[in-house]
């Protein structure tokens, strides 16, 4: 199915690497072609950067479809929501002149990120010495911990002040014991939190919906749905480089559980892949570069975290990791992003296999101990030393950059259907 001609089904966009693949630009482009855009996991740890009309905006929770009038945006049940962060984002979008009412819906089943989650995230990280994950500090892990421990507070609870207060007091009592006795830190003021969160009911009410039923109903009516993953496959709690992962499922399987959309509605999975690799936070990264080439990729690619501003680690494209990602996600087509960052290189390298204990391996090891011991094996390709920013068809692109794209296709067996040749909306080649 051509990427830019959706039919009545759901399409998932997933990151195939360690996040920050440039999904925001693609979602922004495709949003104009879909009826509904859904976020299905993660929270304000993600940051999708969108550039248009000479403006750059980073969205953490609201799907970027919000900038296309007529597109409905849904924050699914798999997302963890900090209500303060969400309301601030709504304010920012409205200040830019976009209408949010009746276009943004939040799942009543989504879990909340509370101030104690953020505090515990940073206290836990600080206590880790050399085993820090390098989290974004947004309370993501602690919020999902409460969800799976069946202690979480959900969006629907905000609408029932009595239930909310009881749950809050129970949670705060337990968390304060932890904060005081284990981390030797000042306890959280229970009354202030109860007061603050009791005031959300009327503000949040217009956005709350049973989005699981809503989405399935819309699909049955023939509407098109785009599911927008945050982070990337290699940060998936089940399929990524555990324990250096996030606490949710960015992979395409998570799109179904995180939205309630029945899996058989999902026909197309677009795997977003950056033309090189980056990683923020700790954990193995076989093709990481520690030299001027790595710095150059970071400089040209503006590789600083959209949420935390942290410098991203940079390296060459890793096809061992990519092939694994394509399988786990059932990727039907690749969207290759930030190819323009490679425009100024004499030669570009691509990792095609690993050496482990003297043997060549082609399967991606997801355990950090093994992954941190592999040595990348590279294929060197000719650089193109030319900008493709004006290219609008594949044929317009420099032959050596086309050879790079063909090489990825041959090595993975998956077609590259979209290539980003610059940061702007229009600097994109569709095939
Ligand atoms: P957490 O999601 O804040 O718990 O962080 C866990 C790991 O995932 C850390 O290594 C983070 O740097 C990484 N991470 C979380 N969100 C993103 C993202 O949007 N892009 C890239 N890395 C991320």
The protein residue with its alpha carbon nearest to ligand 1, atom 10, reads 281
Task: Ligand 1, residue 47: give the atom nearest the CA.
Answer: 19
| Residues 111-207, CATH architecture | Orthogonal Bundle (1.10)
Which tens digits make up the pLDDT trace of 202-235? 899 999 999 999 999 999 999 999 999 999 999 9
Query: What is the model's pLDDT at position 338?
Result: 97
Q: Residue 101 corresponds to which tokens in the numbers above?
A: 């009412």
Distance 166 CA to ligand 1 centre (A): 32
The protein residue with its alpha carbon nearest to ligand 1, atom 15, reads 45
- Annotated catalytic residues are 20, 48
Alpha-carbon distance 286 to 284, whole Å? 6
Span 309-323, mean pLDDT?
Answer: 96
Q: Which one, of 47, 186, 48, 67, lies nearest residue 115 by Cα?
A: 186
Residue to mutate, 16, 246, 248, ligand 1, most ligand atoms under 8 Å from C-beta? 246
The protein residue with its alpha carbon nearest to ligand 1, atom 5, reads 135
pLDDT band at 2 (very low <50, low <70, confident <90, very high): low
* CATH class assigned to 10-105+210-430: alpha beta
Query: What is the model's pLDDT at position 4?
Result: 55
The protein residue with its alpha carbon nearest to ligand 1, atom 19, reads 46
* Sequence spans of domains, the chain: 10-105+210-430, 111-207
Which tens digits make up the pLDDT trace of 107-124? 999 999 999 999 999 999
| Cα 278-283-284 angle, rounded to 5 deg | 75
pLDDT band at 56 (very low <50, low <70, confident <90, very high): confident
Query: What is the model's pLDDT at position 130?
Result: 82
Distance 123 CA to ligand 1 centre (A): 17
Q: What is the mean pLDDT of the chain?
A: 94
Q: Is the model's pLDDT at 291 over the cut of 80?
A: yes
Query: What is the model's pLDDT at position 424?
Result: 86
Residues with CB under 6 A from ligand 1: 18-20, 45-47, 133-136, 138, 140-141, 230-231, 235, 244, 246-247, 280-281
Which tens digits make up the pLDDT trace of 156-167? 999 999 999 999
Distance 235 CA to ligand 1 centre (A): 7
Q: Residue 322 corresponds to which tokens in the numbers above?
A: 């990519």
Query: What is the model's pLDDT at position 237?
Result: 98
Query: What is the model's pLDDT at position 3?
Result: 57
Distance 231 CA to ligand 1 centre (A): 7
The answer to whether the CB of 26 falls within 8 A of the CB of 335 is yes
The answer to whether the CB of 14 falls within 8 A of the CB of 1 is no
Which tens digits make up the pLDDT trace of 24-47? 889 888 999 999 999 999 999 888
The protein residue with its alpha carbon nearest to ligand 1, atom 21, reads 19
pLDDT band at 5 (very low <50, low <70, confident <90, very high): low
Residues of the chain with pLDDT > 90: what percent?
84
Span 62-75, mean pLDDT?
Answer: 92
Q: Is the model's pLDDT at 431 over the cut of 80?
A: yes
Residues of the chain with pLDDT > 70: what percent?
97
Query: What is the model's pLDDT at position 96?
Result: 86
């Amino acid at each position: 199915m051509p990427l830019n001609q959706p039919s009545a089904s759901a399409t998932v966009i997933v990151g195939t690497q360690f996040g920050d693949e440039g999904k925001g630009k693609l979602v922004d482009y495709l949003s104009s072609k879909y009826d509904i855009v859904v976020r299905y996991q993660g929270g304000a740890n993600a940051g999708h950067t969108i550039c248009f009309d000479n403006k750059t905006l980073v969205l953490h929770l609201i799907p970027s479809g919000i900038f296309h009038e007529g597109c409905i945006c849904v924050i699914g049940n798999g997302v963890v929501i900090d209500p303060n962060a969400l309301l601030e984002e709504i304010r920012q979008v409205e200040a830019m002149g976009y209408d949010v009412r009746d276009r943004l819906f939040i799942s009543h089943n989504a879990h909340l990120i509370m101030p104690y989650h953020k505090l515990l995230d940073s206290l836990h990280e600080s206590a880790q010495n050399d085993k820090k994950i390098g989290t974004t500090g947004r309370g993501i892990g602690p919020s999902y911990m409460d969800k799976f421990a069946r202690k979480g507070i959900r969006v629907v609870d905000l609408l029932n002040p009595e239930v909310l207060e009881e749950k809050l007091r129970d949670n705060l009592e337990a968390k304060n014991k932890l904060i005081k006795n284990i981390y030797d830190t000042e306890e959280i003021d229970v009354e202030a939190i109860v007061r603050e969160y009791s005031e959300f009911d009327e503000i949040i009410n217009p956005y709350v919906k049973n989005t699981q039923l809503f989405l399935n109903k819309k699909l049955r009516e023939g509407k098109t749905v785009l599911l927008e993953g945050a982070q990337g496959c290699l940060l998936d709690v089940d399929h990524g480089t555990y324990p250096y992962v996030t606490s949710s499922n960015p992979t395409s399987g998570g799109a179904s559980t995180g939205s309630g959309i029945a899996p058989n509605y999902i026909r197309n999975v677009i795997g977003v892949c950056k033309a090189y690799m980056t990683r923020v936070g700790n954990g193995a990264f076989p093709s990481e570069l520690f030299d001027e080439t790595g710095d150059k990729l970071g400089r040209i690619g503006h590789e600083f975290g959209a949420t935390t501003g942290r410098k991203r680690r940079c390296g060459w494209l890793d096809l061992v990791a990519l092939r694994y990602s394509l399988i786990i996600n059932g990727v039907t087509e690749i969207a290759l992003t930030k190819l323009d960052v490679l425009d100024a290189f004499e030669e570009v390298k691509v990792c095609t296999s690993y050496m482990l204990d003297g043997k060549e391996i082609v399967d991606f090891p997801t355990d950090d101990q093994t992954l941190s011991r592999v040595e990348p094996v590279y294929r060197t390709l000719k650089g193109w030393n030319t900008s493709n920013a004006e290219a609008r068809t594949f044929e317009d692109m420099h032959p050596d950059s086309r050879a790079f794209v063909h090489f990825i296709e041959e090595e993975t067996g998956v077609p590259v259907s979209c290539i980003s040749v610059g940061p702007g909306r229009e600097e994109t080649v569709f095939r």
